[in-house]
Amino acid sequence: MNRSRLIEIIKNKKSFLCVGLDSDAEKIPTHLKNEEDPVFAFNKGIIDATLPYAVAYKPNIAFYESRGSKGWQSLEKTMGYLSTMTGEVFTIADAKRGDIGNSAAHYARAFFQTMNFDSVTVSPYMGFDSVEPFLNYDDKWTILLALTSNRGSEDFQVTQHQLPSLLEKMGIKTICGRKLYESVIEKALTWKNSEKIMFVVGATQAELIGQIREIAPDSFLLVPGVGAQGGSLAEVARKGLNKDCGLLVNASRSIIFASSGKDFEKAAAEEAERMQKEMENMLKEKGII
């Protein structure tokens, strides 16, 4: 999917909601467990119910992989179903892969060719040659981890690169003081085909989203961590929206496990609609729609 089509979908649906398909086989409603493939049946139910409100779907690969090749079959069926809506919804493989050269090329093939995802999340740790094979695909997106929503983001993404206050007082600010996530964003934006890069920025880091917008004014940001993880949608939108919207905000558990009963589709739709309405107001406030 290209950028203008993505923006079109956002404006049509008045939403920048991404539904995270963190479909833990142990947590899906009991009445689905007699289905041939309970996880796929669950995903299909969630997709059908939330489709009016969501612009993107994001299977979290970990929850499929833990069941081995059977889990991968559920994932393939889910993508097969989403592929019937190619161009209508944006699909994200939340895989956080990160390997080099030929290995990276095989991961890109897995998600872009074998399964036809529009995008995949990638870890930047190994540098440019671990990302390049993903960027070589037309109309496919690479979503680089930048500043994540977990507590461990402090271990390497932020803390290590901070300048000690003593040096800041001496006026030494830039020579070695870039935080790692800032370096990742700045460097990635110099790479060939960087217009097909998005960045993962956790909603719990809302106060830093404004700073990230200074480095990456035009980039789309994929923002997880709203809802169950405690990030504020209003705060994220206030700091993160740009003229094209520029945000995909993900909610997983708060939507897909809104009810564990037979009404799980209705409950998911209600929660997705609630978020969509909030987003519609924000898009109007900013004059985007």
Which tokens belong to 226? 């709203």
Q: Which of 3, 11, 67, 286 binds a copy of itself (CB under 8 A)?
A: 67
Interface with a copy of itself includes 86 (CB under 8 A)?
A: no
Q: Which is nearer to a copy of itself, 12 or 160 (CB)?
A: 160
- Nearest partner of 146 among 137, 158, 134, 159, judged by Cα: 158
Interface with a copy of itself includes 178 (CB under 8 A)?
A: yes
Interface with a copy of itself includes 148 (CB under 8 A)?
A: yes
CB of 182 to a copy of itself, least distance (A): 10
d(CA 122, CA 218) in angstroms, rounded, equals 19
Interface with a copy of itself includes 97 (CB under 8 A)?
A: yes
Beta bridge partners of 226: 231
Instruction: List all residues 6 or more positions away from 281 whose beta carbon is below 8 Å from its beta carbon.
Output: none
d(CA 59, CA 151) in angstroms, rounded, equals 22
Interface with a copy of itself includes 136 (CB under 8 A)?
A: no
Q: Which of 40, 90, 107, 264 binds a copy of itself (CB under 8 A)?
A: 107
Q: Measure the N-to-C terminal CA separation of the chain; round to a whole number of Å.
A: 21
d(CA 168, CA 72) in angstroms, rounded, equals 50
Catalytic residue, chosen from 11, 77, 96, 286, is: 96
Rule CB under 8 A: which residues touch a copy of itself? Answer: 22, 24, 60, 62-63, 65-73, 75-76, 94, 96-104, 106-107, 109-110, 113-115, 123-131, 145, 148-157, 160-164, 166-167, 172, 175-178, 180, 183-184, 187
